[in-house]
Structure 1
C-alpha cells in the first residue's frame, strides 16, 4: 500500500506556512523524513494521522481517502507522537490489556496472547509487571510502539522518537522499529541523520514545509562522490573559510583545530583532501541550497 500526498498546504493563524504545496509518495518499508526543528515535520505527521486538517491537498493510503474517511485510516494506523501521555499507576501488561479492550479485542484470551506478543516484540516482557510511569525514556518509547501494534497497523508514524534517548536505549528502540517495519509502511520523522542512515531504505529531506530531496541514503551519497573535501584549520580561520567555500560542517580535533568539510565540484585548493561522502553532507547540502520559507 502506498501513501500518496498531493498539493498539501497548511498555514497557521500566525502566518507560518508549515506545509507548502507538498507532494510525496511513500511505499512499504522504513521511510525517513529528515529535517531540522521547525521544518514542518510534526505538522505533516499530525496531518497524515488525521489529528489536524490541511488547508488544501489530498492524502490517500491504498484505497483510503485519508482526509474524507479519517476513521478508515485510524483503523490501520499506529501513531507515536513526539511526546505522549501521562501514565496511570498501572503495569505495562495491565495497561496494554486496557488499550486492547479499547481497540475492540473482546476475548480475554485473545488479549493476553496479543499483549504477550507485543511485549516480546518490544523487549518489554521481562518488565511487564512494572508500572509504565517508572519506565526509562527508552522503555516508554518502546511501550509506545507496543500499544500501537495492538491493532496490527499497516501505517506507522513515529515522530522524533529517539530525541533524548541515551545511545543504548536508542539502539534498542531502533532495533524494535527494524523488526516491526518489514511488512508495513513506517514513517520515521527525525532531525537526527544517523537514525535515517541506520534504519531507512528511503528518505526525504524536508525544510520550510517543502520536500528538498527524495531519494535513498545510498543513492544520495553516491551522487556527491568526488564533491566532498576536508581540511584542518585553526579556529580563527573558520569565518574566512565560510566566506570563501561552501563549508558544510566543522568538528573539533583534540588539539583544538577544526576539521571542515566543504562541498565543491572540484578540489577547492591544493591543501584540501577528498573525503568519502556521508549522509550528513547530503543533508547540509540540501539545507544550504534551498531557502528556508516562512
Structure 2
C-alpha cells in the first residue's frame, strides 16, 4: 500500500492539472470594439460633411456661377406671380379694414375700392407694359399659363385715364346706394363676383373665336378694367328700381329699365360685330351677376 501511494503521488506531479483560462482585464481606454472596426472600414458613401467644422463643403466658383442664373430666374418668376395677386389682396384687405374702422361706413368702402383702382392703375403705368399684360389683364394665354390671379387683378387697372374715370364715377354713385342698402361687405362681394364672372364670360367668348380669327379673339387678346364689376352694381340697382330715372352720359334722362335694355343690346351688338375695343361679353357677365343677386334677394333662388 505504501508503494502504491508513492506511485500515485509521482504520477500526479508528472501530469499538470488543467487551469481555467485567464480572465481578461477590462480596458476602459482604447479598447478595441466592433464600433472601431466599423469606423476603420472604408465607407461606400462619399464624405459630404467636413469633420473639422461639421458644415457643408464650400461650392466651387464654377458651380455658383452656373446655378446663379437659374436661381435668379426662379426668384423673378416667383415675384412676378405672387406680387400682383398680393397687391390686390392687400387692396381688398385695406378696404375691409377701412370700412370697419371708419364712421362713414358705406362711403368708406366705395372710396377705398376707387382708391385701390387708382393706385394699381398708377403702379401699372410705372411698370413695364409686359408686366401689366401678363398679370393685370384677362386673356386665354394668361389663363393657360396658370396666371389665374388675372381673373381678379384685371378689375383693378384700366387702359387709360378716361376709362378709369368713367368706371369709377359710375361705381361711386351706384356703389354708394348699394352699400347704403345692404352694407359695405355686400358691395365688396358684389364687386369681386362681377369681376370674376365678367372674366369668365370674356374667356368663353375668346375660346369660341380663337379657332376662327387670327387677330381679335386670339390667345393673347387682353381684357382689363372694372367694367364687369361696375355693371354688376349698376344692374342690381336697375332690377331693384326699374322706374328710377338714370342719366346716360350724365345728361340724358332715361328710365332704368330702358337704360338696362340699351346696355344689353349694345353689348350684344359689340359681341356680334367683334373688334370693337370694348369687351361686351365681360359687361354681360357683370349684368348676369346683378340679375342673379336680385333673384336671390327676391327669394326666387
TM-score (norm: length of structure 2): 0.23
TM-score (norm: length of structure 1): 0.24
* Higher strand residue share: 1
Q: Which has the larger radius of gyration?
A: 2
Highest RCO, 1 vs 2 (Cα 8 Å, sep ≥ 6): 1
